[in-house]
Structure 1
Amino acid sequence: MAAALAVTGCTSQSSGPSKVSSSSGGPAPGDSRTPPHSAPPRSPSTSAATSGKTPGGGSASGAGRTPSSRPPGQGAGFPHCSPGTLSASLRQLEAAAGNRYAALVLTNTSDRPCRTQGWPGLQLTSEGGGRIPTETARDRAHEAQPITLKPDDRAWSRLHWTVVSSSGDAADGSCPTPGALRIIPPDERHSLGTGWDLGTVCGKGRIQATALSTGEGPAH
């Protein structure tokens, strides 16, 4: 069920605090649609300067596993990577004492390129789809970069959470075990989902997420 959630994925241009809580609504994102180009004046010099250029500076054909990071402004002719054009998967990474890590991988399953930049929004749910309290915290280990995903290209975010109960968890020290994860791509309001078989999440559902990067992350 791709239901709309009360949070949005965040771009590097977003202002405000570095934490996004799924239990309360956030500010509505700005209009991320590319504004239409105004018609250039009919003059020989303008025609020569604008002829032969296409949005994104390249061909939209071809598939690959290595998406390209583009300088700001490039790839603007492509639509945002929306839930309808993506699939999601989770892969467990090496754990540490009391800490768990996973690679969240988004794959462009459409037949055309799309663009994305920033941090995903996250919502843990039960197997039946009920919401589990979740807090997405932006991990700023690296800056968000504009990414263009061709068909079958992938982008990933490292997720980090704790399995050690704290004062904010249940009084008996138990923590919820989610059944699925909903993901809101940057600049979007709707979500896509994937199963969660990574065990309990403590710390009141707080998950740190890095900005999306090209590729699918480390093998382990």
Structure 2
Amino acid sequence: MFSFKKPRVSLVFLSAAGASAALLLSACGGGTTTASSTTSSPAPSSSASPAATASSSPSTPDSSAGTGAPAPAAGNGLCKAGDVSLSLGQGDSGAGSSYRPLNIKNTSGKPCTIQGFPGVSYVGGDNGQQVGPPAFRAGEKGAAVKLNPGQSAAADIQFVQVRNFDPAVCKPTPVKGLRVYLPQETASNFIADPGTGCAGGNLPGNQLSVKTVHRA
């Protein structure tokens, strides 16, 4: 009988304690506010995780480098089409060819560097259409040449006489001059030099050949 009455006393005590706790909570009213602030905290952490994932993605630097203001490291200091003026110098002739230097002068207000082979081709027509294959690159790539404002470099060009080729293969075509791309440049320059080139694409040799840039 004693063991049965003791639990009844404990239940009464617990129910009284519970009622007291409920009265205290209703009087304070702060427990609900604390719970709501804890629930809202995961929202910033979940929104921050996609940003962290994007910044660690290897594709992010590549895309920003292509569209952002800073230029790629490989392009820093290189001579651009707008930095130079081009001209053909006087040269020598022999064995059915003429040899003339392509003069490249830095006309900008800052130093620039040039290295390698210019891209050279004949152009004609009213829209600058290329006539025949571009110039063959002869020899090895030379050292970089730094041009201060006003300084010049050169690249030697061989012009083969059109009459050296069979007319049926050459397809002689009037040209207005040369289109020139500086090494590692996508914009071109034009040099007026009217003459005749071969429009045929199956020549037994090269109608144009160019050597690497060197200091003039």
Class of the TM-score when normalised by the shorter of the 2 chains? 0.5 to 0.7
Indicate yes or no: 2:208 matched with 1:207: yes
| Paired residue secondary structure (2:82) | helix
State how 1:56-67 maps to structure 2 within 5 Å: none
Residue 105 in structure 1 maps to residue 103 in structure 2? yes
The alpha-carbon deviation at position 190 of structure 1 amounts to 1.3
How far apart are 1:98 and its partner, in Å?
Answer: 1.1
Structure 1 gaps of 5+ residues are 1-31, 36-75, 216-220
Q: Deviations over 1:33-56 (max 9, x none)?
A: 327xxxxxxxxxxxxxxxxxxxxx
User: How far did residue 143 of structure 1 move?
Assistant: 4.2
Question: Bigger radius of gyration, 1 or 2?
Answer: 2
Q: Which protein, 1 or 2, shows the higher relative CO under an 8 Å CA cutoff with sep ≥ 6? A: 1
Q: In structure 1, what residue type is equivalent to 2:209?
A: Q
Equivalent residue number for residue 132 of structure 1: 131
Which residue number corresponds to residue 57 of structure 2? none
> Structure 1 stretches (4+) deviating beyond 6 angstroms?
none
Cα shift at 1:176: 2.6
Report the TM-score, using the length of structure 2 for normalisation. Answer: 0.57
How many Å separate the matches in 1 of 2:96 and 2:133?
A: 18
SS of the equivalent of 2:155 reads: strand
1:180 pairs with 2:181:
no
CA distance, structure 1, for counterparts of residue 215 and residue 102 of structure 2: 12
The residue type equivalent to 2:73 in the other structure is T
Q: What is the TM-score with the length of structure 1 in the denominator?
A: 0.56
* Secondary structure of residue in 1 paired with 2:77: coil
> Displacement, 1:181?
0.8
CA drift of 1:92 comes to 3.3
1:23-172 map, 5 Å: 33-34=72-73, 79-126=77-124, 128=126, 129-140=128-139, 143-163=141-161, 164-167=163-166, 170-171=167-168
Structure with the higher helix share, 1 or 2: 2
Q: Which AA in structure 2 matches 1:211?
A: T
Whether the aligned pair in 2 keeps the contact of 1:133 and 1:205 (CA below 8 Å) is no
- Shift of residue 210 of structure 1? 0.7
Instruction: Please state whether the residue corresponding to 1:148 is helix, strand or coil.
Output: strand
1:130 deviates by 2.5
- In structure 2, C-alpha distance between the alignment counterparts of 1:180 and 1:173, rounded to whole Å: 18
**Structure 2 contact 136–206 (Cα < 8 Å) conserved:** no
Secondary structure of 1:179 counterpart: strand
* Kept after mapping to 2: 8 A contact 1:104/1:156: yes
May I ask how many residue pairs the two structures share in their alignment? 139
Q: Which secondary structure does the structure 1 equivalent of 2:135 belong to?
A: strand
Q: Tell me if structure 2 keeps the 8 A contact 1:165–1:174.
A: no
| 2:19 equivalent in structure 1 | none
Q: Which amino acid aligns with 1:201?
A: G
Quote the offset at 1:127 in angstroms. 5.4
